[in-house]
Structure 1
Amino acid sequence: MGVGDVSKRILLGRKLRSSQLGETLLPKRIALPVFASDALSSVAYAPDEVFIMLGLAGASTYIWSWKIGLAVAVVMLTVVASYRQNVHAYPSGGGDYEVATVNLGQTAGVTVASALLVDYVLTVAVSVSSGVQNAAAAVPWISHHEVVVAVVLVLALAATNLRGVRESGAFFAVPTYCFMAGVLGMALVGALRASDGHLPDVESANFQIIPAPGYDGGNLTGLALIFLLARAFSSGCAALTGVEAISNGVPAFRKPKSRNAATTLLLLGTIAVTMLMSIIVLAHHMQIKYVDDVSRLRDEQGNPMPSGYDQPTVMAQISKAVFDNFTPGFYFVLAATGIILILAANTAFNGFPVLGSILARDGFMPRALGSRGDRLAYSNGILVLAFFACILIVAFDAQTTRLIQLYIVGVFVSFNLSQLGMIRHWTRHLKAETDPAARRRMHRSRMINTFGLGMTLTVFIIILLTKFLAGAWISILAMCAFYALMRGIRRHYDKVNLELAADEEDRFMPTKVHAVVLVSKLHKPTLRALAYAKATRPNVLEAVYVSADDATTKALVQEWDDRNLGVPLKVLYSPYREIVRPIVEYAIQIRKASPRGVVAVYIPEYVVGRWWEQLLHNQTALRLKGKLLFTPGVMVTSVPYQLESSQIARDRARRDSERVKAGDLRRGTVRSGGRVPPGKQVHR
C-alpha cells in the first residue's frame, strides 16, 4: 500500500463493499440533523435580514417584524405540507427534479435541477460565511481572516462527507441538537423573564438608526411601505432554504422511507417555525437595533459609532441579554449557533451529490458524478460542490449580507415547478381512480399543493421585484449557465450514443489488416513487438523506421539485413527531423489505399518502476498514440518490455497483496500463520 493509499485510508476510512449500502441508511434521529440542519440553522440569520431591511427606514418600522415573521412561518408550514405529499408520491430521491420532469416535461426538470444546483452551492457559501461571522464575535482573531477560515471549513466539511453519509450524520447530530436546545432554551428563559417583567433590553436598545438614503422622508406610507415590507419578507424567506433537501434524500432513510421522511419534514417545520418566531418576538420586545451599515448607528448621546465597531448578530445580542446572569448560557448559544451555521452546509453536501448522480444517470451531467467512492458516497459531487462554494466565498469576501441577495431565488423556482408538477400528478391519477376514499385523499393533496403554489408563486414574484437588481440577477444568470451546460452535455451523450449504436455494417470483418511495427533501434523491445505482430497473422506485416540521420539509418538497415528477420523494413525520411508526423501520414496513406481495411500499429514501450524514469522514456510513444487515436481505421497496440527497474513496482505490488488488510480474515484469505496461497480458502 503506497503513501497515497495510506493517506486516503486515514482520511476516509476503510473501503465499503457495495453490499454494505444498507448499513449507511439513516434513522430519523440522525436524518433530522443531516437533512434539516440547513433549514434549522437559517433561523439564525433570517431574522437578521428582516431587521436589516426594516431598519432602512429607521427603528419605527420594527413594529412589523413579528407580522413578517408570521407570514414567513405560514409559507414554511405550507411548503412542508406540500413536500410531505412529494415524498410519498416520489420516494426515489429525485425530489423536485423528478416531479417536474415526470409531470411537466424535460425542460421543466432541467430548469429545476439548475436552480437546485445553484442553491446548493449558495447554501454552503452562505452558511459557512454566516457561521464564521458569528464565530468572529467570540474569537477576535477570526476578524479580517473570514475568507481563509471559511475556505478551510468548506474543505473540512467535504473531507468529512467523503467518509460517508452515516458517519457525517453521526458527527453532525450533536451540534444540531445542541443548537435546538440552546435556541429553544433561550426562548423559554426569555418568555419566563418577560412574564414576570424582568426581560432586559439588548445592548443596542438605546441606539438610534439613521434612515438610509431614499428612506429618510419621515414615516413611510403607501407603495414605499409595501415595497419595504416586501423586501423584508423576501429576505426572511431565507428561512425556507433546505426544506427541499429531505425530498431529495428519501433513499438515505431507513424503511419505511417515505413515512420516515414525511415525519422528519413535520419535525423540521415545527421546530424551525418555533425558533424563528421566538427569535423575532424576543428581538422586537428587547428593542434591538440592527443595520447592515454601522455608519447609520448612533449611540445614546447621538454620536456615531467608533471606527472598527463590530455589530453583534441578532442571536448574539438576544442570548447575551437573556443570559445576563448566566454567562455559560450565552457562550453555549453562541458556540452552538456558530457551529450549526457551518455544519448547515452539510445539507447541501448530501443533496448536491445525490441530485448530481441522478442527473448523470439521465445524461445531463458527466457520468463521473454518478460513481460512488470508497465509502459509498458520491465523492465527485462532493468535490465539485466544495470547489464552487470556495469560489463564491472568495469572490464575495465571505460577506453573508452580500451573498444573501443571491440566495433563495433558486429554491423558489424549484418550489413553484414542484407544486405545479404535483397538481398535474394528482389530476392525472384522479382520472384513473374510482375508489371514493382514495379520490378524497387525492383531492385533499391537490388542494394542499394548489395552496402551496399560490404562496410560493407570490413569494417568488416578491423576490424578483425586490432582489433582482440587488444581486438576484447573478443567481438567475448562473441558473441559465447550468441549464445550457446540462443541455449541452445531454446533446453530446445523445450524439455519442447515436454514433455508437450497432448496425448491420458493423458485422462485416475488415478486408485487410496491414500491421506496422515501429522501430527506433534493433533491440529486445523491437524484436518482441515483431514476434507479437507475427502471432496475430496480419495480411501485411512491415517494420517502419523514421530516418533523421543518414549514418544511423545506414547502420540500422545493415543490421536488419544481417539478422534476416523475414520482415521488410520501410524507411520514412524526415528532412525536418520529425518523428510523429511521418508515421501518421504513412498510416493515413495505407488507409486510403484500402478503405475497408485497418492499419494496426504496434509500439514498443518500456515499463519502469520509478516515477522519474517514466519522464525519461516513452514520451515519443505517448505523443504518437495521441495522434493516431484520432486517425480513422488505425488501431494502436502498446507492446510492453519490462526493464530491470520494473521489478521495484512488482515487488511493491507483491508486498501489498501479501499484507493483511481489514476484512481478510472474515473473507477467508488469511489465517493466523500467514496469507492463504492463491486459489485456496480457509475452511472453518
Structure 2
Amino acid sequence: MGVGDVSKRILLGRKLRSAQLGETLLPKRIALPVFASDALSSVAYAPDEVFIMLSLAGASAYVWSWKIGIAVAVVMAAVIASYRQTVHAYPSGGGDYEVATVNLGQTAGTVVGSALLVDYVLTVAVSISSGSQYAAAAIPAIQGHEVLVAVVMVLLLMAMNLRGIRESGAFFAFPTYAFMFAILGMCIYGFFELAIGDLPMAESAGLDITADPDFQQPLTTIGLLILLMRAFSSGCAALTGVEAISNGVPAFRRPKSKNAATTLLLLGMIAITMMMSVIVLAKQMGLRYVDPHQLDRLTMNGQPLPDDYDQHAVIAQIARGVFHDFSPGFYLVITVTGVILVLAANTAFNGFPVLGSILAKDGFAPRALGSRGDRLAYSNGIVFLAVLACLLIIVFEAETTRLIQLYIVGVFVSFNLSQLGMIRHWTRALEREPDAAERRRMMRARLINAIGLSFTSVVLVIVVITKFLAGAWITILAMAFFFMVMRAIKGHYDKVADELAAGDEDKVMPTRVHAIVLVSKLHKPTLRALAFAKATRPNALEGVYVSVDQAETAQLLEEWDRRNTGIPLKVLHSPYREVVRPIVDYASAIRRANPRGVVAVYIPEYVVGRWWEQLLHNQTALRLKGRLLFTPGVMVISVPYQLRSSQIARERGERDELRVHPGDLRRGRVRLRDRDRDRQIQR
C-alpha cells in the first residue's frame, strides 16, 4: 500500500463493497439530524433577521414580530405538508427536480436543478460563515481570521462526509439533538418564568432604536406593508433545508417514503415550535436588535453607545436573561448554537451530491458526479460543493449579513415549480384512477399542493421584490449560469451519443491494415513489440525509426541486418531532431494513400514499480499517443515490457491483499491461511 493509499485509508476509512450499500442507510433517529440540521439551525438566525428588518421603523414595530413568525410558520407547515406528498409520489430521491422534469418538462427540471445547486452552495456558505462569526465572538484570537476558520470548517465537513453518509450522520446526531434540547429547554424555562412573573429583561432592553430615515414615524400604509414584507421575506430563511429530505429519500431505511414523511413531520413541528418560542420570548424580554453594521442607531438615554459595544445574537441575549442564575445553561446554549450552525451545512453535503448524481444520470452534469467513492458516498459531488462554498466564503469574506441577501431565492423557485408539478401529477393520476377512495386521497393531496403553491408563489414574489437590489440578483445570475452550463452539457452528451450510435456501415472491416512498430533501439521491448505485431497478421508490417544522429542510425541499421528479423525498417530523417512529428506525418500519409484502411502503431513501453521511475521513461511514448489519438484512421497499441522494479509494485499489492483487516472474519471473507495456500498452489 503506497503513501497515497495509507493517507486515504486514514482520512476516509476502509473501502466498502457495492453490496454493503444497505449498511449505510439511515434510521429516522439518524436521518433527522442529517437532513434537518439546516432547517433547525435557521432558528439561530431567522429571528435575528426578522428583528433587524422591523427595527428599521424603531422598537415600536416589534409588536409585529410574533405575527410575522406565525406567517412564516403557516408557510412552513404548508410546504412540509406538500413535501410529504412528494416523498410518497417520488421516492427515488429526485425531489423537486424529478417532479418538475416529469410533470412540467425538461426545461422546468433544469431550472429547478440550477436553483437547488445554487441554494445548496449558499447553505454551506451562510451556515459556515455564521458559525465562524459565533466562534470569533467567543474566541478573540479568531477575530480577523473568520474567512480562514470558515474554509477550514468546510474542509473538515467535506472529510467527514467523504467517510460515508452513515458515519457522518452518527457524528452529527449528538450536536443536533443537543441543540434541540438546549433551545427547547431554554424556551420552556423562559415561559415558566414568564408565567410566574419572574422573566428578566434582555441585556439590550434599556436601549433605544433610532428609526431608519426611510421608515420615519408615523408609517404610511404602504411603508408599513413594505416593512412587513421585508421582515417576512427575511424570516422565510427558516424554510431553507426543508426540500433536502425529498432529495435524500434513497438514504432512508425501508419503508423509505414513510420514514422520510415521518422525518419531515418531526422537522416541521420542532422547527416551528423553536422559532415561535424564540420570537415570543425575545419580544417579552424587550430585546433591541439592529443590523450589526448600523449599531449607531442604538442609543441609551439619547447618548450613543461606546465604540466597543458588542451586540449579541438574539438567542444569546435570551439565554443570558433566562439563565441569569445558571451560567452553565447559558454556555450550553451558545456552544451548541455555534456548533449547529457549522453542522447545518451537512444538509447540503447530503443533498447536493445526490442531486448531482441524478443530474449526471440524466446527462445534465458531468458523469463523474454520479460515481460513488470508496465509502459509497458521491465523493466528486462532495468535493465540488466544498470548492464552490470555499470560493463564495472567500469572495464575501465570510460575512453572513452579505450572504443572507443571496439566500432563499433559489429554494422558493424550486418550491413553486415542484408544487405546480405535483398538482399536474395528481390531475393526471385522477384521470386514470377508478377507485373512489383512492380518488379522494388524490384530491386531498392535490389540494394540499395547491395551498402550498399559493403560499410559496406569494413568498417568491415578496422575496424577489424585497431582496433583488440587496443581492438576490446575484443568485438569479448564478442560476442562469448553471442553467446554461447544464443545457450545454446535455447538448454535448446528446451530440456524442448521436455520433457513437452504431450503424450497419460500422460492421465493415477495413480493407487493409498497415502495422508499424516504433523502434528506438533494438532491444527486448522492441523485439517483443515486433513479435506481437507479426502475430496479428497485418497486411503490411514494418519497423519505423526516426534518425536524428547519423552514427546511431548506421549502428542500428547494421544490427538490424545482422539479426535478420524478416521485417523491413523504415528510417525517417529528422533534420530538426523532432521525433513525434515525423511519425505522425508518416502515419497520416499511409492513411491518405488508403482511406478505407487503418494504420496500427505499436509502441513499446516500460512498466516500472516506483513513481520516480515513471518520470525517467515513456515520455516520448506519452507525447506520441497524445498526437496519434487525434489522427483519423490510426490505432495506437501499447506493448508493455515489465522491468524488474515492477515486481516491487506487484508484491506490494499482493501483501496488501494477504493482510488481515479488522472485521474480515465477521464479514465472512476468505481466511488468510486458505488464500495463501491457494496462491502457493497456483505458483
State the TM-score, normalizing by the size of structure 2. Answer: 0.97
**Per-residue deviation at 1:667?**
4.4
1:246 maps onto 2:280 in alignment: no
1:613 maps onto 2:621 in alignment: no
Cα distance in 2 for partners of 1:438, 1:674 equals 58
Q: Partner amino acid for 1:172?
A: F
Cα distance in 1 for partners of 2:250, 2:235 equals 30
Unaligned runs of 5+ in 2: none
**Per-residue deviation at 1:146?**
1.1
1:669 maps onto 2:658 in alignment: no
| 8 A Cα contact 2:210 2:299, kept in partner | no
Q: Partner amino acid for 2:196?
A: D
Q: Secondary structure at the match of 1:290?
A: coil
Q: Partner amino acid for 1:43?
A: V
| 8 A Cα contact 1:119 1:407, kept in partner | yes
Cα distance in 2 for partners of 1:342, 1:219 equals 41
Aligned to 2:596: 596
Q: Secondary structure at the match of 2:660?
A: coil
Cα distance in 2 for partners of 1:218, 1:588 equals 83
Aligned to 2:372: 372
**Per-residue deviation at 1:5?**
1.5
Q: Secondary structure at the match of 1:541?
A: strand
Shift in alpha-carbon separation, 1:614–1:672, aligned structure 2, 3 A: closer
Aligned to 2:75: 75
Cα distance in 1 for partners of 2:308, 2:149 equals 20
Q: Partner amino acid for 1:569?
A: L
Aligned to 2:312: 312
Cα distance in 1 for partners of 2:13, 2:587 equals 49
| 8 A Cα contact 1:205 1:288, kept in partner | yes
Cα distance in 2 for partners of 1:365, 1:200 equals 55
Cα distance in 1 for partners of 2:96, 2:518 equals 56
Cα distance in 2 for partners of 1:23, 1:553 equals 64
Cα distance in 2 for partners of 1:50, 1:562 equals 92
**Per-residue deviation at 1:66?**
1.0
Cα distance in 2 for partners of 1:362, 1:427 equals 25
Q: Secondary structure at the match of 1:211?
A: coil
Deviations 1:495-540 (A, max 9, x none): 1111111110111111111001111122222112111111111110
Aligned to 1:275: 274
**Per-residue deviation at 1:622?**
0.6
Deviations 1:153-175 (A, max 9, x none): 11111111111111111111111
Aligned to 1:648: 648
| 8 A Cα contact 1:202 1:321, kept in partner | yes
Aligned to 2:260: 261
| 8 A Cα contact 2:660 2:672, kept in partner | no
| 8 A Cα contact 1:669 1:675, kept in partner | no
1:532 maps onto 2:532 in alignment: yes
Aligned to 1:161: 161
Shift in alpha-carbon separation, 1:680–1:203, aligned structure 2, 3 A: farther
**Per-residue deviation at 1:549?**
2.1
Cα distance in 2 for partners of 1:19, 1:558 equals 60
| 8 A Cα contact 1:206 1:299, kept in partner | no
Cα distance in 1 for partners of 2:243, 2:295 equals 38
**Per-residue deviation at 1:126?**
0.8
Cα distance in 1 for partners of 2:42, 2:325 equals 27
Aligned to 1:60: 60
Cα distance in 1 for partners of 2:211, 2:5 equals 59
Cα distance in 2 for partners of 1:395, 1:185 equals 38
Identity of aligned residues (%): 72
| 8 A Cα contact 1:543 1:569, kept in partner | yes
Q: Partner amino acid for 1:571?
A: V
Aligned to 2:226: 227
Cα distance in 2 for partners of 1:676, 1:13 equals 29
| 8 A Cα contact 2:183 2:274, kept in partner | yes
Q: Secondary structure at the match of 2:589?
A: helix
Cα distance in 2 for partners of 1:401, 1:71 equals 23
Aligned to 1:211: 211
Deviations 1:544-591 (A, max 9, x none): 111222222222222222222211111112222111111111111111
**Per-residue deviation at 1:679?**
9.2
| 8 A Cα contact 2:208 2:301, kept in partner | no
Cα distance in 1 for partners of 2:110, 2:164 equals 27
Q: Partner amino acid for 2:549?
A: D
Aligned to 1:25: 25
| 8 A Cα contact 1:212 1:296, kept in partner | no
Cα distance in 2 for partners of 1:238, 1:680 equals 66
Cα distance in 2 for partners of 1:270, 1:679 equals 63
Cα distance in 2 for partners of 1:128, 1:676 equals 54
Cα distance in 2 for partners of 1:673, 1:629 equals 45
**Per-residue deviation at 1:308?**
4.0
Q: What is the number of equivalent residue pairs in this alignment?
A: 680
Aligned to 1:202: 202
Deviations 1:58-106 (A, max 9, x none): 2221111111111100100000111111111111111011110111001
| 8 A Cα contact 2:659 2:672, kept in partner | no
Cα distance in 2 for partners of 1:305, 1:527 equals 88
Cα distance in 2 for partners of 1:679, 1:309 equals 77
State the TM-score, normalizing by the size of structure 1. Answer: 0.97
**Per-residue deviation at 1:543?**
0.8
Q: What is the RMSD of the two structures over their aligned residues, measured on CA atoms?
A: 1.6
Shift in alpha-carbon separation, 1:680–1:346, aligned structure 2, 3 A: farther
**Per-residue deviation at 1:446?**
1.0
Cα distance in 2 for partners of 1:675, 1:649 equals 18
Q: Partner amino acid for 1:313?
A: A
Q: Secondary structure at the match of 2:609?
A: coil
| 8 A Cα contact 1:366 1:489, kept in partner | yes
| 8 A Cα contact 2:123 2:345, kept in partner | yes
Cα distance in 1 for partners of 2:570, 2:349 equals 59
